[in-house]
Chain A
Amino acid sequence: MIVEKAILAIITTKEEQVGGGAPIFICTSNEELQLFSTNLEAIMDGIAHRLSDEVYIIVKH
């Protein structure tokens, strides 16, 4: 089976909502959340997707 998409990182301000196998970055503010997502997006060559205002994921397409 070929996995085409993968979650490379999870960035959140709401720790209790996330878990699992991908690296999780816990932020304290919304600004930090945006900053982390922007940086991780650039570093990982993935796309930052917003699941809710508190949870962002970086996905490799």
Chain B
Amino acid sequence: MGIESYLQAILFGVVAGTLARLITLRSDYRQYPTYLHGRIIHLSLGFIAASLGALAIPALLEMEFTAVTFLTVAATQFRDVRNMERNTLTELDQFELVPRGSTYIEGIAISFEGRNYLVMFAAFLTTLAYITWGWFPSTVVGVLTIVAALSFMSGSALRDIVEIEESDISFDEAGLYVDNIYIMNIGIEERQEEILKYGMGFILKPKNINVITTISNLGQQQAILHDASATLGVYKDSGTPALTPLIKRDLDDGRLGVFILPLVRDPELAKKVIGSVPVLENAIKMPSEATFLKGGKK
């Protein structure tokens, strides 16, 4: 095959890969990445990933096997992407009224790394298809890989694993309760009135045993609080630690009592927001999959 057709094949791969990155790069309510600058960084990295993926096939066909070592450069590069995201977000987290928490941050950083591999894969397959079948099948493969990348992107949300119910908040002496779950001790009556006025309570009921361990993860709980506060606003300032959204657990049955202080006081909207909090990969535990429980081999 001539150098000309390789060029076209690589071009197809690079375009497909970069497109995949463009489509998987979305700024949503998390406001991350921020517009323009953050986008440019990730698009450029996506372009580099796509180029690496696209170059691999022609290099192999030309018997340049050592070129494959380039892919290890890619792996190092993308691990750095994860580090970069983690560092930035951890720095920024100190100045959030309700922080994301490191579990959430790690989840975001991992998906940034993961998406670059998807981009590389998309470019790789598209180039392969171009060289073996021609431009039309290659376009189809490109589209398919982008669709696949999109489906890999969406994990499950909290609404899939818990039932969310609104619940009353109340004070017993100084103790704040959501349903029967103790949240914290608030001494001053003025604060208690504020909390009763602005606070809202929700109960999350786990649907099965795996879920109990997943939602008991403190990082997952912090993610719920952060997302609720980021979307609905929060009645809190730097000098008012008593006004802090909190989640506590009912030790008897694993239910969570969620106490938030939203500015937008719409229970249905709040349920929707809590329901769409992502289930963090790092929080997922599967006790029911333990082989020694199933009677299998250890």
Contact = CB atoms under 8 A, between A and B. Distances in A.
Interface of A: 34, 37-38, 41-42, 45-50, 56-57, 61
Interface in B200-259: 238-239, 241-242
Given A49-B174, A50-B173, A61 B188 contact: no
Interface residues of B, number: 14
B186 A47 contact: yes
Interface of B: 173-174, 184-191, 238-239, 241-242
Given A34-B189, A41-B188, A61 B174 contact: no
A37 B239 contact: no
A48 B188 contact: yes
Contacts of A57: 187
Contacts of A47: 184-187, 241-242
A4 B239 CA distance: 18
Contacts of B242: 41, 47-48
B186 to A, nearest CB: 7
A37 B189 CA distance: 10
A43 B265 CA distance: 29
B241 A49 contact: no
A13 to B, nearest CB: 13
A43 B150 CA distance: 50
A56 B187 contact: yes
Contacts of B189: 34
A9 to B, nearest CB: 12
B241 A50 contact: no
B239 A45 contact: yes
11 contacts: A38-B188, A41-B188, A42-B239, A47-B184, A47-B185, A47-B187, A47-B241, A48-B191, A49-B185, A50-B173, A61-B241
A38 B190 contact: yes
A49 B242 CA distance: 9
Contacts of B184: 47
Contacts of B241: 45-47, 61
A45 B238 CA distance: 8
A38 B239 CA distance: 12
B239 A50 contact: no
Nearest to B175: A50
Nearest to A37: B188
A48 B243 CA distance: 11
A50 B190 contact: no
A48 B191 CA distance: 9
Given A47-B184, A50-B187, 11 more contacts: A34-B188, A34-B189, A34-B190, A41-B188, A47-B185, A47-B186, A48-B187, A49-B187, A50-B188, A56-B188, A57-B187
A57 B185 CA distance: 11
A28 B65 CA distance: 86
A45 B243 CA distance: 11
